[in-house]
Amino acid sequence: MAARRKSDEEMTVNMTPMIDVVFQLIIFFVTTVDMENKALDTKIRLAMSPHGPAVEKKDPRTIMVDVDHKGRISIARVGMSADVLRQVLRKAVADYGPTIPLVIRGDGKTPHEDIKSVMDAAAAAGLWKVKFVAVKEKA
């Protein structure tokens, strides 16, 4: 009888505050989860690389440089010339050291010379960790 009464009491837990909190959490995660994607240029058609190593843990200091099919360079949708990119990378190296990974999102149709100008800017700034992004699996 005593056990029965205990379970009855547990049944009366007030659900409302818990549901409120859960909804708040859901809204928080829904609004924050895709922030990073908004900074990427969606017009870039990445080349396919079905065997490439998947992106594992990402360094938060990573610099993503977008190069579209006409060779226009941009970081977080802000277009810039190769000279400006060099200055930006120099500044980044001065602030965080030369171990920052540079990730190049190049369109598959971009001529290599435009990719090269980004890599040269990286070399001039002293960055040596260069990666190319490719699509491993189309969603």
Partner 1 sequence: MARQRRKAEAPAADLPMTPMIDVVFQLLIYFLVTIQPRDVLAHLDVFRPSPDQRQQEQQEKPKMIRILVFPDGFTINERPVDAAELDRLLTRLASIDRNQTILITCTAASPHEKLVRVLDLCAKNKLVNLSVVSTY
Positions that interact with partner 1 (CB under 8 A): 4-5, 8, 11-16, 19, 26, 30, 37, 46-55, 67, 103, 106-113, 115-116, 119, 122-124, 128-139
Cα(61)–Cα(64) distance, integer angstroms: 10
CA 23 to chain CA centroid, nearest Å = 26
Complex with partner 1: residue 47 or 84, whichever CB lies closer? 47
Shortest distance, position 36 Cβ to partner 1, whole Å: 11
- Matching residue, tokens 């900074």: 39
- Based on the number of CB atoms within 10 Å of its own CB, is 129 exposed (0-12), middle (13-18) or buried (19 or more)? middle
**Which of residues 77 and 109 has its CB atom nearest to partner 1 in the complex?**
109
- To partner 1, the closest distance from the beta carbon of 28 in angstroms equals 14
Rounded to an integer, what distance in angstroms lies between the CA atom of residue 106 and that of residue 64? 10
Q: Give the residue with the Cβ less far from partner 1, 47 or 75.
A: 47
Residue 110 beta carbon to partner 1: minimum distance, rounded to whole angstroms: 4
Element (H, E) at 73: strand 73-75
Q: How far is the CB of 19 from partner 1 (least distance, A)?
A: 7
* Cβ 84 to partner 1 shortest distance, Å: 20
Decide: 45 and 69 in contact? Cβ < 8 Å: yes
Instruction: Say how far apart CA 67 and CA 136 lie, in whole Å.
Output: 19
